[in-house]
Amino acid sequence: MIPLSWYLIFAAGLFVTGIFGVLTRRNVIGVLMGVELMLNAVNINLLAFWSYLYPESISGLVFIAIVFVAAAAETAVGLALIISIYRRRHTVYAEEINLLRG
């Protein structure tokens, strides 16, 4: 039997890896991959809480489904933006995308 803490520690590790990727990647597609890792870590946490603490409740599962939908929408729009930026500015590096620089 696996204690709940193992899943939480694993998800925390995945989340922190995602944060590190978001903050350090120069390539915007790499940043998006970091966001995906973070969303997955959140999903593991939600499912672990549902499975260990509230297995009878259905709302935890609905929450996970909504997170899936949000992740799919985020990726589609994010990649469309990246493709559009690449077409106009011929770069995918985050530090060169500075059109909104104040």
Size of the site for another protein (CB under 8 A): 74
* 77 binds another protein per the rule CB under 8 A: yes
Kindly identify the residues of this chain, within the stretch 56-75, that bind another protein according to CB under 8 A.
Answer: 58-59, 61-62, 64-66, 68-75
- Applying CB under 8 A, among 90, 98, 101, 102 the residue interacting with another protein is 90
- How far apart are alpha carbons 94 and 28 in whole angstroms? 6
Shortest gap between Cβ of 101 and another protein (angstroms)? 16
- How far apart are alpha carbons 57 and 51 in whole angstroms? 9
| CA angle (10 as vertex; 42, 29 as ends), nearest 5 | 55
Orientation of helix 28-52 relative to helix 59-89, angle to 10°: 180
Tell me the one-letter amino acid at 69. V
Shortest gap between Cβ of 102 and another protein (angstroms)? 20
Binding-residue pattern over the window 12 to 41 for another protein, x denoting contact by CB under 8 A: xxxxxxxxxx-xxxxx-xx-xxx-xx--x-
